Amino acid sequence: MRLDTHTHFLIDKKQEQPCYKSIKNIIKSCIISGIDGLCITEHREAVGYKNLMISLFKNNFIEGNNHEYYFLTTEGVKLFPAAEIQLENGSNIGVHAPLEVLLNLNNISGFYNLPTLHETLVREGKWFFLVAHHIFWPNKTYDNHHELAQYIHAIEVPAKDIRNIEKYINLANQFDLSTLGGSDSHTFIQIGACNTCIEESVESYPHPLLSEIEKKNKLHSYTPQSEILVELSKLYRSSIIQ
């Protein structure tokens, strides 16, 4: 089973309402690329975050099947609610938790530091896991790796920084953490450019990655096409953003 664990359904943080057609194209892109599921790590501070999550997971906006823990599209692709949080120090953390927990998070960029984000999630009393997103990307670093590793559960290997892959793997090895593959796609082109490959059946609840992360396995996967998809997506995105 392949999951892309870092995706965006909004073209940027200013898009207020989700676009039915672009989401349908993302689903088609998954089918073409052999991606079985997406974690929708939309920016929590995006103005359209709540609209997107409610449209998908509550109002059945794209006419699929709502499951207790995820949304199943009619084409068999599973969508998991998530969020990307920009911390006080500028680094980005993927939060995977039940929808109601995600909606309760503060939507101000930089509101949390990592200990307060973690504490907030623990207080909610539900399952969750945290992923360090593109942690070596300029201006997104978390320099205190020992502190970072105290609170997170996995290191993302990002499609957009595949040339530095060794840094991400070494960090995961140093702290005995899992690696996940994420595309950080904002368009259908980049979907799956880096992805997470697991044996586990999706029927493991509440999230198929929870048990995989516990095993601390290296789960990222990419191909020589990954960098090209990132660059093509960037070009396409710049052509449609006003």
Which positions touch Fe ion (CB under 5 A)?
84, 184
- The helix/strand/coil state of 178 is strand
Minimum separation from the CB atom of position 6 to Fe ion (A) = 6
Contacts of 112 (CB under 8 A, 6+ apart): 85, 87, 88, 106, 120
CB-nearest residue to Fe ion: 184
Minimum separation from the CB atom of position 134 to Fe ion (A) = 8
User: In the complex with Fe ion, which residue's Cβ is closer, 64 or 84?
Assistant: 84
What is the β-pairing status of strands 154-158 and 129-133?
A: parallel
Minimum separation from the CB atom of position 17 to Fe ion (A) = 20
Give the C-alpha distances (Å, rounded to integers) separating 55 from 14, 43, 52: 17, 16, 5
User: In the complex with Fe ion, which residue's Cβ is closer, 36 or 84?
Assistant: 84
Minimum separation from the CB atom of position 49 to Fe ion (A) = 12
Q: Give rounded-to-5 percent helix, strand, coil for the chain.
A: 35, 20, 40
In the 8-state DSSP scheme, what is residue 145? Answer: H
What is the β-pairing status of strands 37-40 and 2-7?
A: parallel
